[in-house]
């Protein structure tokens, strides 16, 4: 990703969050962030498993200068989940900065994240782009799988069926915790997973 591209995202007050609050950016604003992120399509698609995110359906959550963006997979629909097996299928991308995932009580080390160092406003920022996948585990239960820079998943969490009238292909909300935030991701209004994130410099 070119410095100018991601620098524009960071300068816009987008990707930096030690914790998320439940303030969703308007669609028009979210589309601007997605458009900027897609400026270097080759880098966006350079993922551990094949991924083709839909930049026309972004979800952006903000809290002042903090925020994150969820991009659902372009062909995501209810059949995607109905046809899942042990093979992981991409369902989206999660863009963040200045934080990492917690696996239990342990930090997922930054070296395992798919990261880019960029300069904006005279400062250097690190942005991560995680590929999200779904599959059935050994017991046949659905799980959300998160990938960093390699084909070895960073973590896997339960992907639970929920009852919802939501029509969005993907949605995101956040709840602050003492050590960071819990991010709730919902797909096709029927499946939900929760990820725990924190600022590694404050944990």
> pLDDT: is 45 or 17 the higher one?
45
Instruction: Judge whether residue 181 has pLDDT over 90.
Output: no
Cβ atoms of 147 and 130 closer than 8 Å = yes
Report yes or no: 61 and 25 within 8 Å, Cβ to Cβ: yes
Q: Count H helices, E strands: the chain?
A: 4, 14
Per-residue buried b or exposed e for 116-125, using 16+ beta carbons within 10 Å of the residue's own CB: bebebeeeeb
Span 160-171, average pLDDT? 83
Buried b (16+ CB within 10 A) or exposed e, 135-163: bbeeeeebbbbbbbbeeebbbbbebeeee
User: What pLDDT is recorded for position 116?
Assistant: 66
Dmax (CA) for the chain in angstroms is 50
Band of pLDDT at residue 25, cut at 50, 70 and 90: confident
Does the pTM surpass 0.95? The reply is no
C-alpha atoms less than 13 angstroms from C-alpha of 47 in its C-beta half-sphere:
25
Query: Of 8-12, 16-20, 51-55, which has the strongest mean pLDDT?
Result: 51-55
Better pLDDT: 33 or 95: 95
Residue written as tokens 């998320």?
20
Distance, CA of 28 to CA of 104 (rounded, Å): 36
101: enclosing H helix or E strand: strand 100-103
pLDDT recorded at residue 64: 58
The rounded distance, in Å, linking the Cα atoms of 69 and 24 is 10
pLDDT band at 126 (very low <50, low <70, confident <90, very high): low
Q: What is the pLDDT of residue 124?
A: 56
Q: Which range is least confidently modeled, 37-41, 114-118, 140-144, 160-164?
A: 114-118
What's residue 122's pLDDT? Answer: 55
DSSP state of 104: T
Residue 91 has pLDDT above 60, yes or no: yes
Residue 65 has pLDDT above 70, yes or no: no
Which pLDDT belongs to residue 22?
58
């Amino acid at each position: 990703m070119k410095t100018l591209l991601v620098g524009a995202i960071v300068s816009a007050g987008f990707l930096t969050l030690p914790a998320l609050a439940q303030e969703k950016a308007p669609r028009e604003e979210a589309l601007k962030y997605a458009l900027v992120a897609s400026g270097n399509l080759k880098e966006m698609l350079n993922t551990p498993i094949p991924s083709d995110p839909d930049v026309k359906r972004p979800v952006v959550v903000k809290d002042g200068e903090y925020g994150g963006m969820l991009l659902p997979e372009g062909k995501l629909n209810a059949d995607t989940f109905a046809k899942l097996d042990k093979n992981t299928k991409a369902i989206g991308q999660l863009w963040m900065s200045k934080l990492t995932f917690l696996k239990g009580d342990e930090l997922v080390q930054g070296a395992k994240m798919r990261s880019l160092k960029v300069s904006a406003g005279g400062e250097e920022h690190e942005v991560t782009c995680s590929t999200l996948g779904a599959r059935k585990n050994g017991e046949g239960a659905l799980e959300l799988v998160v990938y960093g820079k390699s084909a070895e998943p960073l973590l896997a969490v339960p992907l639970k069926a929920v009852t919802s009238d939501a029509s969005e292909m993907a949605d995101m909300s956040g709840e602050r915790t003492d050590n960071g935030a819990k991010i709730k991701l919902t797909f096709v209004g029927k499946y939900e997973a929760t990820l725990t994130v924190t600022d590694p410099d404050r944990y």
